């Protein structure tokens, strides 16, 4: 057997293995999608499975969500969109500037600040929840969008990522811009920020995913049903007195869409951003 045939056989084997792995990874999503077309009684008796009777499938769950009775779901959806969009925009803005300064500027206490970032990065969020909650109460911002967003606006992991990424940026460009009379803010926004697009894309997906799926912190600081985010709102469908699994699965299917759209828009930069941010420095 010549080398060409061996390479073709090896490619086919790899393709089959990757296909099997892809199916295993997609199995929960496929099960969730099929469950969204079933009634609650069928789900309780048969569970989530890929084996189904086509006669059991219907659009009743989706019709209910898009009806007037299901408007509460879309209120939760809107809350999650607003909070996630705010977290992405402000987190990238503040965290990138902090990481940029720690990487490319020499100032007193820089190493101490970076050490504090690493220390906070190693502390579980559950330990910080009580002091954060007390801060929200003192600021009288409980049950608001701001109370959900604040802990994520300057996330240590995002600051660390931007710092590592910026270490690989050429300082010569900064010196050239200064000679041309550009201010320090102008250097960041006009010269360095365009070079950081892959890192912005990677962190936009990361922060968007974290914020969209965030459950524990919104559960702590939100009070009213109209302010609930999507994860918290969906959790209210499960109670000791009854569980609306059909609506829960249908709502979960629709909740996946923004993350897929976000990844599609930024995927061209995602891998390069993660790779460069992980090896620089």
66-124 pLDDT, tens digit per residue, is: 887 777 899 999 999 999 999 999 999 999 999 999 999 988 889 999 999 999 989 98
* Cα–Cα–Cα angle for 172, 274, 256, rounded to 5 degrees: 140
Place of tokens 């296909």: 19
pLDDT at 42: 80
Query: Which runs of E-coded beta strand occur in 187-264?
Result: 238-239, 242-243
Q: What is the pTM of this model?
A: 0.85
- pLDDT value, residue 281: 42
Paired tokens of 84: 């996630």
**Which residues partner with 243 through β-bridges?**
238
Neighbours of 114 (CB within 10 A): 17
Distance CA 105, CA 171 (A): 10
CATH architecture of 70-279: Orthogonal Bundle (1.10)
Which of 172, 178, 156 is closest to 102 using CA atoms?
156
- Residues of the chain whose pLDDT is less than 50? 277-281
214 to 86, 133, 170, 188: CA distances (angstroms) = 14, 16, 36, 31
| Torsion sign, CA atoms 164, 117, 197, 195 | negative
Among candidates 195, 206, 186, which has minimal Cα distance to 270? 206
Predicted pLDDT of residue 230: 93
Please name which of 36, 30, 28 lies closest in space to residue 59, comparing C-alpha atoms: 36
Question: What phi and psi, each to the nearest 5 degrees, are found at residue 238?
Answer: -105, 110
pLDDT computed for residue 240 by the predictor: 64
Please report, for the chain, the start and end positions of each structural domain, with discontinuous segments joined by +.
1-66, 70-279
Are 143 and 227 in contact, with CB atoms under 8 Å apart? Answer: yes
């Amino acid at each position: 057997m010549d080398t060409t045939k061996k390479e073709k056989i090896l490619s086919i084997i790899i393709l089959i293995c990757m296909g099997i792995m892809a199916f295993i990874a997609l199995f929960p999503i496929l099960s969730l999608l099929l469950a969204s077309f079933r009634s609650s009684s069928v789900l309780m008796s048969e569970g989530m499975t890929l084996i189904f009777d086509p006669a059991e499938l219907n659009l009743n769950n989706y019709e209910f969500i898009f009806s007037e009775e299901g408007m509460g779901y879309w209120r939760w959806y809107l809350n999650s969109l607003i909070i996630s969009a705010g977290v992405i925009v402000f987190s990238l803005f503040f965290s990138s500037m902090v990481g940029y300064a720690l990487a490319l500027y020499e100032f007193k206490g820089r190493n101490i600040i970076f050490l504090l970032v690493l220390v906070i990065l190693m502390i579980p969020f559950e330990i910080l929840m009580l002091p954060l909650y007390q801060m929200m109460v003192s600021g009288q911002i409980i049950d608001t969008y701001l109370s959900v967003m604040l802990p994520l606006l300057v996330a240590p992991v995002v600051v660390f990522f931007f710092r590592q990424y910026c270490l690989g940026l050429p300082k010569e460009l900064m010196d050239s811009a200064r000679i041309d009379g550009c201010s320090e803010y102008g250097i960041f926004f006009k010269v360095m920020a365009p070079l950081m697009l892959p890192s912005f894309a990677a962190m936009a997906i990361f922060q968007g995913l974290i914020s969209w799926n965030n459950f524990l912190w919104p559960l702590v600081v939100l009070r009213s049903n109209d302010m609930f985010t999507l994860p918290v709102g969906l959790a209210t469908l499960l109670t000791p007195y009854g569980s609306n699994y059909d609506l829960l699965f249908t709502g979960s299917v629709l909740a996946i869409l923004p993350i897929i759209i976000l990844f599609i828009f930024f995927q061209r930069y995602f891998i390069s951003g993660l790779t460069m941010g992980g090896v620089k420095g």
